[in-house]
Amino acid sequence: MAFPRVSAGVAVRSSSPVETRLGDSPDIGQAMRRKEDMPITRECTSCGQLNRIPVVHLSDEGRCGACKQPLPAISEPIAATTETFLEIVKEARVPILVDFWAPWCGPCRMAAPEVARLATEMAGRAIVLKVNTEEYPELAARYRVQSIPTFAIFSHGQIVRQESGVVDHLVMESWLAGL
């Protein structure tokens, strides 16, 4: 399953709670100051125009800058880099589910359809991020991910829940609905 890759503001197609606050460590603060408003580009399904969506508006419906057709809220998991992960967690106005996974992990591949279904069902009410622990081990280490898949829920820049193992999308939805 391919997830949109979010990197430096550009979307590119490609195949027990922990007390942590964003900005507590110097490296996170520096990443946050690097770009105040990191946009993500989305292609309009009507005209094909690329539209820049500020991170704070990922859960909002907008309009295409060219044809003025509606651009729905993000409804698929976003494959995030360290920078986009930090920016989205800091700026999002809705809860965020993060799936820490790896391509070689069988249970991660089993969970992927559930994660995608959750992203579709929660569009506008939550954002779903995918963090490849092979590419971004520093994020896995920061949130003490010791097995995969691990799911973490963030709200207002703080981690509020973290669970390991394959979980049904309805269970994940109930976690998000409780926020």
Cα–Cα distance between 179 and 13 in angstroms, integer?
A: 30
Identity of the amino acid at 76 = E
Smallest Cα–Cα separation from 78: which of 53, 105, 61? 53
Strands (E), 32-155: 39-43, 50-54, 62-63, 70-71, 78-80, 96-101, 127-132, 150-155
Q: Which residues pair with 80 in a beta bridge?
A: 6
Cα–Cα distance between 113 and 93 in angstroms, integer?
A: 25
Contact 44, 64 (CB under 8 A): yes
Is position 105 annotated as part of the catalytic site? yes
- Of the candidates 47, 64, 67, 105, the residue annotated as catalytic is 105
Under DSSP, the state recorded for 146 is -
Under DSSP, the state recorded for 7 is E
Is position 47 annotated as part of the catalytic site? no
Cα–Cα distance between 20 and 111 in angstroms, integer?
A: 25
What are the residue numbers of the active site?
Answer: 105, 108
